[in-house]
Amino acid sequence: MPQPPEQPPRPGRPSADPLRRSAGAGRPLDPDTDAAIRRAVIELIIEVGYDRMTMEAVARRAKAGKGALYRRWPSKALLAVDAIADLRGPRPPELPDTGSLEGDIDAVIAMSPSTASSETLGAVVMGIISAATRDPVLHNAFETHLIAPTSSMMQSFADHAAARGDAVAGRDLSLMGEMIAGLMVMRLAHGELPDQDYLRHILCGLAYPLITGRNHPAFR
């Protein structure tokens, strides 16, 4: 028999920022409790997926009261968004223009998540990707924290090359960022990790020839 949707103990006031909401009613936050709650959310998304994660399960795993969760995050979606944003961390700095495509490739790899971070982020993507197609708040978080940082960095990679004159004249590189980010998400959909080796393969084997019109030395 279908279960009724979870209801908060009492309605919360909408946040001025629909993506991230601090604790309500001026109550001081306990950093340890908040960290435990966010950690529990990420663990449960990975283990059972967003759809099967419940506020009760988060509270139980974090050893926190359900009411405390709703005072900080009035919905499961906002709680998941906050945990994902915290996991992703600050937006990476702008990709520097190193003066060459080879240098830029090395810079992209250096600024990309480590294997351990990629594994966790990848597992979270798989845990929320289906729900993100139905929930606009979750979809926004998916785009903002998991897709946009990669897409933006890869587009900067192509833009630097075009500005230096490394690209074939007249070649449209405006979708390079979306293309590479899409390939990495597709990799996850097939259950494989888009790690730094895979990213280097994309940049050298696909992006480099698209930009320059010639194969990368490693693929000749």
6-18 confidence digits (pLDDT tens) = 444 444 433 333 4
> Which whole-number Å values give the CA distances from 203 to 162, 171, 191, 210, 219, in the listed order?
15, 17, 21, 10, 11
pLDDT attached to residue 24 = 36
In the numeric block, the tokens 């993507």 are attached to 125
pLDDT attached to residue 52 = 95
User: Token pair of 200, please?
Assistant: 């280097």
Sequence spans of domains, the chain? 31-87, 92-219
| CB neighbour list of residue 167: distance below 8 Å, 6 or more residues apart | 158, 161, 173, 211, 212
| CB neighbour list of residue 76: distance below 8 Å, 6 or more residues apart | 6, 50, 53, 54, 55
Where residue 71 falls among pLDDT bands split at 50, 70, 90?
A: confident
pLDDT attached to residue 25 = 32
The predicted-structure confidence for 22-66, as pLDDT tens digits, reads as follows 333 335 457 888 999 999 999 999 999 999 999 999 999 999 988
The more confident residue out of 118 and 29 is 118
- What is the rounded distance in angstroms from the CA atom of residue 207 to the CA atom of residue 177? 10
**Residue 124 near residue 87, CB atoms below 8 Å:** yes
What phi, psi does 74 have (nearest 5°)? -75, 0
Does position 3 have pLDDT exceeding 60, yes or no?
no
Residue type, 39: R
The predicted-structure confidence for 158-214, as pLDDT tens digits, reads as follows 999 999 999 999 999 999 999 999 998 888 777 777 888 999 999 999 999 999 999
The more confident residue out of 3 and 201 is 201
- What is the rounded distance in angstroms from the CA atom of residue 64 to the CA atom of residue 78? 17
Determine the Cα angle at 120 with ends 115 and 123, to 5°. 120
Per-residue DSSP letter, 130? H
- What is the rounded distance in angstroms from the CA atom of residue 107 to the CA atom of residue 105? 5
168 Ramachandran zone, left/alpha/beta (phi>0; psi -120 to 50): beta
User: Structure pTM?
Assistant: 0.72
- What is the rounded distance in angstroms from the CA atom of residue 185 to the CA atom of residue 133? 14
The predicted-structure confidence for 77-93, as pLDDT tens digits, reads as follows 999 999 988 887 777 78
Q: Can you name the CATH fold of 92-219?
A: Tetracycline Repressor; domain 2 (1.10.357)
Residue type, 50: Y
The more confident residue out of 27 and 116 is 116
User: Token pair of 20, please?
Assistant: 């991230």
Q: Which CATH number fits domain 31-87: 3.40.50.2300, 3.20.20.70, 1.10.10.60, 3.40.47.10?
A: 1.10.10.60
Select from 153, 151, 144, 92 the least CA-distant residue to 117: 92
DSSP 34-86: HHHHHHHHHHHHHHH-TTT--HHHHHHHHT--HHHHHHH-SSHHHHHHHHHHH
